[in-house]
Structure 1
Amino acid sequence: MTLKEHSKHSKIARPAYGNFGRNEWAIVGAPCGAIKALADVLIKELSPRYTCAYVDAQHAKADEETVLPGRLASGAVAEYTDQIHYHQFDIKRELNAFQFRQLFNETDLVLVNGNHEQAKAQVVIIDEAKKASLQKRLLQLTNIALFLLADGMEEVYDFLQEAIPDWQAIPVLKLSETDKIVAFFQNQMQQVQPKLKGLVLAGGQSLRMGQDKGAMQWHGKEQRYYMADLMREMCQEVYISCRAEQETDLDANYNTLPDTFTGLGPYGAILSAFREDPDAAWLVVACDLPLLDAATLQHLVEKRDTSVNATTYVSPQDGFPEPLIAIWEPKSYPVLLSFLAQGYTCPRKVLRNSEIHLIEAAHADTLRNVNTPEELEQVQLLLQQKTTY
Structure 2
Amino acid sequence: MISKEHKKHSDLAKPSYGKFNRNEWAIVGMQCSNIKLLADKIITALSSQYKCTYVDAKHSMENENALLPPHLESGAMASYVDHINYHQFNFNKEYNDFQLRQLLNDADIVLVNGNHFQAKSQVVVIDETKKESLKKRTEQLTNIELILLADNAPDVFDFIKDFPSIKNTPVYKLDETSKIIDFFKAKMQESIPLLNGLVLAGGRSKRMGFDKGTIQWHAKEQQYYVADLLKELCETVFISCRSDQQKEIDTNYSTLTDTFIDLGPYGAILSAFRAQPDKASLIVACDLPLLDLSTLQHLKEHRNISSMATAFESPYNHFPEPLITIWEPKSYPVLLSFLSQGINCPGKALRNMDTAVLKIQNPETLMNVNTPEDFEKVQHIIQTMHPHHAK
The answer to whether TM tops 0.5 is yes
Task: Find out whether 1:302 has 2:301 as its counterpart.
Answer: yes
Structure 2 CA distance, aligned partners of 1:347 and 1:301? 19
Q: 1:376 to 1:3 in 2, by over 3 A?
A: closer
Q: Deviations over 1:260-290 (max 9, x none)?
A: 0000000000000000100000000000000
Q: CA deviation at 1:3?
A: 8.5
User: Contact 2:144–2:165 (CA<8 Å) still a contact in 1?
Assistant: no
User: Contact 1:51–1:307 (CA<8 Å) still a contact in 2?
Assistant: yes
Task: Find out whether 1:32 has 2:47 as its counterpart.
Answer: no
Task: Find out whether 1:141 has 2:173 as its counterpart.
Answer: no
Q: CA deviation at 1:361?
A: 1.4
Q: How does 1:177-326 map to 2 (within 5 A)?
A: 177-326=176-325
The one-letter amino acid of 2:208's match is M
Say which is worse superposed, 57-66 or 99-108, in terms of deviation: 57-66
User: Does the residue aligned with 1:240 lie in a helix, a strand or coil?
Assistant: strand
Q: 1:134 to 1:2 in 2, by over 3 A?
A: farther
Give the TM-score normalised by structure 1.
Answer: 0.97
2:91 equivalent in structure 1: 91
User: Contact 2:24–2:119 (CA<8 Å) still a contact in 1?
Assistant: yes
User: Contact 1:13–1:276 (CA<8 Å) still a contact in 2?
Assistant: yes
User: Contact 2:143–2:165 (CA<8 Å) still a contact in 1?
Assistant: no
Structure 2 CA distance, aligned partners of 1:368 and 1:123? 50
2:112 equivalent in structure 1: 112
User: Does the residue aligned with 1:111 lie in a helix, a strand or coil?
Assistant: strand
Structure 1 CA distance, aligned partners of 2:6 and 2:65? 48
User: Does the residue aligned with 1:169 lie in a helix, a strand or coil?
Assistant: coil
2:370 equivalent in structure 1: 371
User: Contact 1:80–1:87 (CA<8 Å) still a contact in 2?
Assistant: yes
Say which is worse superposed, 313-322 or 375-384, in terms of deviation: 375-384
1:339 equivalent in structure 2: 338
Structure 2 CA distance, aligned partners of 1:303 and 1:78? 39
Q: 1:134 to 1:384 in 2, by over 3 A?
A: same
Structure 1 CA distance, aligned partners of 2:140 and 2:347? 43
Q: Deviations over 1:176-232 (max 9, x none)?
A: 000000000000011111000000000000000011000010000000000000000
The one-letter amino acid of 2:76's match is A
2:389 equivalent in structure 1: none
2:102 equivalent in structure 1: 102
User: Contact 1:284–1:327 (CA<8 Å) still a contact in 2?
Assistant: yes
Structure 1 CA distance, aligned partners of 2:73 and 2:3? 52
User: Does the residue aligned with 2:60 lie in a helix, a strand or coil?
Assistant: coil
Task: Find out whether 1:77 has 2:77 as its counterpart.
Answer: yes
Structure 2 CA distance, aligned partners of 1:33 and 1:373? 68
Q: 1:306 to 1:165 in 2, by over 3 A?
A: same
Structure 2 CA distance, aligned partners of 1:373 and 1:239? 27
Q: CA deviation at 1:383?
A: 1.1
Say which is worse superposed, 149-158 or 112-121, in terms of deviation: 149-158
2:64 equivalent in structure 1: 64
User: Does the residue aligned with 1:173 lie in a helix, a strand or coil?
Assistant: strand
Give the TM-score normalised by structure 2.
Answer: 0.96
User: Contact 2:16–2:278 (CA<8 Å) still a contact in 1?
Assistant: yes
Q: CA deviation at 1:100?
A: 0.5
Structure 2 CA distance, aligned partners of 1:281 and 1:167? 30
Q: 1:329 to 1:209 in 2, by over 3 A?
A: same
User: Does the residue aligned with 2:310 lie in a helix, a strand or coil?
Assistant: strand
2:15 equivalent in structure 1: 15
Q: CA deviation at 1:60?
A: 2.5
Q: Deviations over 1:126-178 (max 9, x none)?
A: 1122111100000000000000001131111011112x024232110011000
Q: Deviations over 1:348-370 (max 9, x none)?
A: 11100111110011110001000
Structure 1 CA distance, aligned partners of 2:152 and 2:66? 38
User: Contact 1:25–1:122 (CA<8 Å) still a contact in 2?
Assistant: yes
Q: CA deviation at 1:63?
A: 9.2
User: Contact 1:60–1:66 (CA<8 Å) still a contact in 2?
Assistant: no
User: Contact 2:196–2:280 (CA<8 Å) still a contact in 1?
Assistant: yes
Q: CA deviation at 1:384?
A: 2.1
User: Does the residue aligned with 2:164 lie in a helix, a strand or coil?
Assistant: coil
The one-letter amino acid of 2:154's match is E
Q: 1:3 to 1:183 in 2, by over 3 A?
A: farther
Q: 1:128 to 1:366 in 2, by over 3 A?
A: same
Aligned residue pair count:
386
Q: CA deviation at 1:25?
A: 0.2
Structure 1 CA distance, aligned partners of 2:377 and 2:238? 29
2:150 equivalent in structure 1: 150
- Aligned-pair identity in percent equals 59
Unaligned runs of 5+ in 2: 387-391
Unaligned runs of 5+ in 1: none
Q: 1:2 to 1:220 in 2, by over 3 A?
A: closer
User: Contact 1:31–1:129 (CA<8 Å) still a contact in 2?
Assistant: no
Q: CA deviation at 1:65?
A: 2.8
